[in-house]
Amino acid sequence: MGSLLGVAALIVAVIVGLRLLRRRAVERVQPGRSPDRAIAIRDYGEMDIAIGLQTCGCGGGYSLRGEGPTAGAQLRVAHLECRRCEREVSVYFDVSQVLH
């Protein structure tokens, strides 16, 4: 009986892990989730709007925890934290079109 419960627990763990991997893969290809998929903006107000539209996989909204330039002068990165599950993500913005 104990080994049957162990096998069932292992199957559940594998299923949950695969779902998590699939969700993370989908999130990685969303606009802004990597430097090569940076969101192009023309002014910094658009950055605030884009951050406000981001949602976590758990359904929660994000709070801005910090923001700044990346190693390249053309990108800025916003560090966000989910208000519900506290997961942290980074969103990249292409600021090459911003008028100064």
Looking at the predicted structure, is the pLDDT value of residue 68 above 80? yes
Residue 59 main-chain phi, psi, to 5 deg: 100, -5
Instruction: Delimit the domains of the chain by residue range.
Output: 1-30, 32-100
pLDDT for residue 26: 61
pLDDT for residue 17: 76
Please tell me the distance from the alpha carbon of residue 84 to that of residue 87, in angstroms, as a whole number.
8
By CB atoms closer than 10 A (0-12, 13-18, 19+), residue 18 is: exposed
Q: What is the pLDDT of residues 3-56, one digit of tens each?
A: 888 887 788 888 877 777 777 666 666 788 888 899 999 988 999 999 998 888
Task: Please choose, from the candidates 30, 38, 32, 20, the residue with its C-alpha nearest in 3D space to the C-alpha of residue 85.
Answer: 20
Q: For 67-72, what is the mean pLDDT?
A: 83
Q: Put the strands of the sheet holding 39-40 in their side by side order.
A: 39-40, 88-94, 75-82, 62-69
Stated pTM of the model: 0.73
Query: H or E segment at 12?
Result: helix 2-28
Q: What is the pLDDT of residues 75-84, one digit of tens each?
A: 999 999 999 9
Looking at the predicted structure, is the pLDDT value of residue 71 above 80? no
pLDDT for residue 83: 94
